Amino acid sequence: MLTAGEVAGLIVAMFWAILVCFLAVVLVRLARLLTQTSKMVSELGDRVVPLLEDVTATVSEANRQLVAVEAIAKDVKQVSGHVAKVSDVTQTLVTGPLIKVAALGHGVRQALGARRSRGRSVPRVLEGRRS
């Protein structure tokens, strides 16, 4: 028969064997996981490179379009400045003579009104004196 020390050694050896088998299974699964991860990273890298090239092309096109939009905005700003100046000049050219025409019309209307009132009041006064 086995002594107590031999039985204890045999039990420890069996636990070590079970532990080694368990660790071997874990290491095999870990190796598979790392292999799949490497494969996925490689595929992702293969897909990312064209995407990055597309993004680079898109950003370059956007920058080109922004330069064009900036030029258009600059031209619009310049045109709006010119339109404002033309509007000021037009206002100056039109309002001055319009004010003068309005003043002339007002003066003529007042003169005609005064003349009419004098023309009517004179006969009335004369008619009143004759009676």
Query: pLDDT grade, residue 129 (50/70/90)?
Result: low
The letter for the amino acid at 57 is A
Residues 45-74 have pLDDT tens digits of 889 989 999 999 999 999 999 999 999 999
Phi-psi region of 2 (alpha: psi -120 to 50; beta: other; left: phi over 0): beta
**Helix, strand, or coil (residue 1):** coil
The answer to whether the CB of 35 falls within 8 A of the CB of 43 is no
As given in the structure block, the two tokens for residue 102 are: 């309005």
Residue 131 carries which DSSP code? -
Q: Which parts of 1-131 are beta strand (E)?
A: none
pTM: 0.45
- Residue found under tokens 């064209």: 50
For position 43, what pLDDT does the model report? 92
Q: Give the C-alpha distances (Å, rounded to integers) separating 81 from 4, 85, 95.
A: 106, 6, 21
Domain ranges of the chain: 4-114
pLDDT band at residue 131, thresholds of 50, 70 and 90? very low
